[in-house]
Structure 1
Amino acid sequence: MTRSTGKVCVAVLGLVLSATPGLAQDWLEGLEPRVLRLADFSGNETANFGRAMVAWEQEITEFTQGRITFENYWSSSLLNATGTLSGVSDGVADIGLIIPTYYPQDLPVAAWLFGMGAALSGSTVHDVAAGGATALETLLTLPAVTEEYAGHNLVVLQGTSTPAYNLLCNKPVNSLATAQGIRARAIGSVWSSTAEALGMTPVSIAFNEAYEGLQRGVFDCMVINPNQYVDGLTLRDVAPEYVPVTFAQLQASTWVMNLDTWNSFPVELQNFIIGANARAAQAIWQGYMRIEAAAGELIASGGVHTNDVSELEPVAAAQRAEYVAAMAGNAPAAVGDAQAVIDAYLARIAYWTGVLEEQGIPVAERTPEAIVEAFRVLGDVDLEPFIARFNDEVLPGLMIQ
């Protein structure tokens, strides 16, 4: 944790501990020792989410002087991707990772909000930081979302957004003509509709079959982050054509806690956790910079071929804008004024994008040369001033009085 990322929470902690020593001691001495179970289907403790959440746990254990400790279950060893909602709700685990689109019936508002992942620039830093800041604010403050999770006995801890998805292909795709008929693995309408606009045919292939499918030519392209060149599937061996046309980001991957567990904590601990939640999300932002920079080294070195998307990008951008524009018409009733929610979301993305630009981080153009250069400098991007700005402006309003 950097000094600037934690300064707001340190200030809050200072207020808690300096207010009335007796009261501070009372809440801590009265805190029942317990072990909280965390379930992460997506990876292990060395993955981006895992690293951030282990650091989050360590903060809480230290703050509670060892009264709260954790037991971690990685890679679906306790709850899988579609079982986490009910598992955390019922107390099988206390903390878990939710992808809202896996639960369209149970989480219609959160699943609908996922579509805002189409409102991005394609520039990794801005989509991760500005998009992530907007997702985090919205998940924690939009009543339609917080009440929906509360209806499942859950409280939102934090949520983040990935970089934009692109295409990793086993053949060149550098024009609308070459895109025609390309079979692209695209799971979810926010991605498949962009593929269709480019003239591609979306196909549904299990993730664990993707490597072999690309290798054998069962399909031609995969809609995914370029970090899969160096992480997970290491697709550079079977999909050496990087096509950086901008598809939606994976929006609002959400960490939740069992509401009964949360309500059992004193307010002093709840406020500390709120600050720790923000730091965990911000660690994930920075983690994406690190992961994408590793992919960028491969791309910049020519280890994979970067295709020119100048003909594809305007078509994809227009389609994504249409997707967002249509969201008000298919919003769940619980959203209320859907257009106002969409407008507010877009305004916050624009605001946080502007903050990054003020801090000397321009949105990268979508030419092959600019894309390669943007990847090249990702490892040097310092999000510390941006994180400090978020903490100064947003965190105080989240604290429980």
Structure 2
Amino acid sequence: MRRLLLAALAAFGLAVPALAQTTVPPGPRIAITAVTQPLPTQPQYTLVDQPLLRDGLRARSNGRIEVTLASHGERNLGGAEIIRLVRAGQAEIGAGTLTTLSGDVPILDGIDLSGLAPDIRLARRIADAMTPVANRDLERFGVRILAMYPFPAQVLFCRAPFTSLADLRGRRIRTFGNSLVDFYTALGAQPVSIGFPEVYSALERGVVDCAITGSGSGAAARWPEVSTHISDLPVSWAVAAYVVNLAWYNRLEPAVRALVDDTFREMSDRLWQLGADATRDGIDCNIGNREGCRIHNLAARPMTEVKATDADRAETRRIFEQVVLPGFVRRCGARCGEIYNQVIAPLSGVRFGG
């Protein structure tokens, strides 16, 4: 199993760091509980969290740091509890998508709005620029962000053919988060809130016509069995963050804290690369392209890829500017509009309020 893991890491440039190097002095054992990805089978968990966070910190501290790692599913968590879990000290480190965590800290929702970032490079620049801003709000809750990272592009799976965004009018579409609801409502679709584990059966029974998730997440959940067409248009990136209990973090020895910081910087780099690789890989797996399918599972019943048109991309930007962004500011408040204009607008090219 370890040989297979190392091969997968190497295949995607996720080389294992020099784990034998000891970067902290001898001292008492440091126990860390970390609750990170939704499921233990996700590549973010198996290819990054396990080798770098769990095994890497142990090796680089010469055994001083012992990380007990678990996924949300293994702890029976939905994800929205992560900030409160870490704040209460039930875990020193946790991770969750910003859309899910924004119920506690609304500014987080502005980092990954639907239609904001058409490519992953822009998504990262926005996330990096917003991290110190988000931390000012999060530190009032006793937590702070150690790193942000993406999942694969959030794309649409449908159980009937479509050729453009215009074809989605009237369709029932499973969404999550306020900005996706705004986006698909603006297209004339009918957003439906359904938990990820229930989407397979909802597509199978026709409760929804389409559903949005990461290209690879849909592959892992076998959505090609219950849907026929997949869009290659990234609507958002399900950007997520690792957060740490601030009081615990501040008590760490400087050398230990520096090692934790270095580890999460490395994890962030690996995860942004994985997000880019896994986006195309997920589509290739879903459409049955065996040669391009190396991270996820190849679909037994290949789907049809629907390539975005220039008109689709223009409509996505229009909806972001005229519907999604104003909706975010309305929910979050005038301060959020000011922050958006100061930090994100210079990167996105779209200013709130014209």
What TM-score, normalized by structure 1, do the two folds share?
0.70
Q: Give runs of aligned pairs for residues 235-254 of structure 1, distance below 5 A.
A: 235-251=223-239, 253-254=240-241
- Runs of 4+ that moved beyond 6 A: none
> Structure 1 residue aligned with 2:211, among 215, 222, 235?
222
RMSD: 3.3
From the superposition, tell whether residues 256 and 216 of structure 1 become closer, same or farther in structure 2 (CA, over 3 Å).
same
Cα deviation digits, residues 232-261 of structure 1 (max 9, x gap): x1211111111334422223x111111122
Q: Report if the CA contact (8 A) 1:166-1:245 is conserved.
A: yes
The AA in structure 2 aligned to 1:271 is A
CA distance in structure 1 between the partners assigned to 2:343 and 2:111 by the alignment: 12
| Percentage identity across paired residues of the two chains | 16
Cα deviation digits, residues 214-248 of structure 1 (max 9, x gap): 111111101222223422x1211111111334422
What TM-score, normalized by structure 2, do the two folds share?
0.78
CA distance in structure 2 between the partners assigned to 1:284 and 1:77 by the alignment: 21
- 1:135 has 2:127 as partner: yes
Matched position secondary structure for 2:232: strand
CA distance in structure 1 between the partners assigned to 2:264 and 2:328 by the alignment: 30
The AA in structure 2 aligned to 1:314 is A
> Structure 2 residue aligned with 1:44, among 40, 43, 54?
40
Q: Report how far residue 201 of structure 1 moved.
A: 1.0
From the superposition, tell whether residues 331 and 114 of structure 1 become closer, same or farther in structure 2 (CA, over 3 Å).
farther
Corresponding residue of 1:87? 85
Q: Report how far residue 331 of structure 1 moved.
A: 7.2
Q: Report how far residue 197 of structure 1 moved.
A: 2.1
Q: Report if the CA contact (8 A) 1:331-1:338 is conserved.
A: no
CA distance in structure 2 between the partners assigned to 1:208 and 1:45 by the alignment: 14
Q: Report if the CA contact (8 A) 2:153-2:279 is conserved.
A: no
Q: Report how far residue 71 of structure 1 moved.
A: 1.0
CA distance in structure 2 between the partners assigned to 1:5 and 1:291 by the alignment: 12
Q: Report if the CA contact (8 A) 1:131-1:349 is conserved.
A: no
Q: Report how far residue 159 of structure 1 moved.
A: 0.9
Instruction: Provide structure 1 residue ranges, at least 5 long, that are not aligned to the other structure.
Output: 18-26, 351-401
- 1:201 has 2:201 as partner: no
From the superposition, tell whether residues 277 and 67 of structure 1 become closer, same or farther in structure 2 (CA, over 3 Å).
same
Q: From the CA coordinates, give the structure whose radius of gyration is larger.
A: 1
Deviates more, 1:267-276 or 1:285-294: 285-294
- 1:58 has 2:46 as partner: no
Q: Report if the CA contact (8 A) 2:111-2:127 is conserved.
A: no
- 1:185 has 2:182 as partner: no
Instruction: Provide structure 2 residue ranges, at least 5 long, that are not aligned to the other structure.
Output: 1-8, 290-300, 350-354
The AA in structure 2 aligned to 1:43 is L
Corresponding residue of 1:271? 258
Q: Report how far residue 46 of structure 1 moved.
A: 5.3
From the superposition, tell whether residues 114 and 240 of structure 1 become closer, same or farther in structure 2 (CA, over 3 Å).
same
Q: Report how far residue 186 of structure 1 moved.
A: 1.3
Corresponding residue of 1:32? 28
CA distance in structure 1 between the partners assigned to 2:48 and 2:215 by the alignment: 21
Cα deviation digits, residues 84-116 of structure 1 (max 9, x gap): 22211111111111334334452122234443x
The AA in structure 2 aligned to 1:239 is S
Corresponding residue of 1:109? 107
Count of residue pairs the alignment pairs up? 321
Q: Report if the CA contact (8 A) 1:44-1:74 is conserved.
A: yes
Q: Give runs of aligned pairs for residues 13-32 of structure 1, distance below 5 A.
A: 28-29=25-26, 31-32=27-28
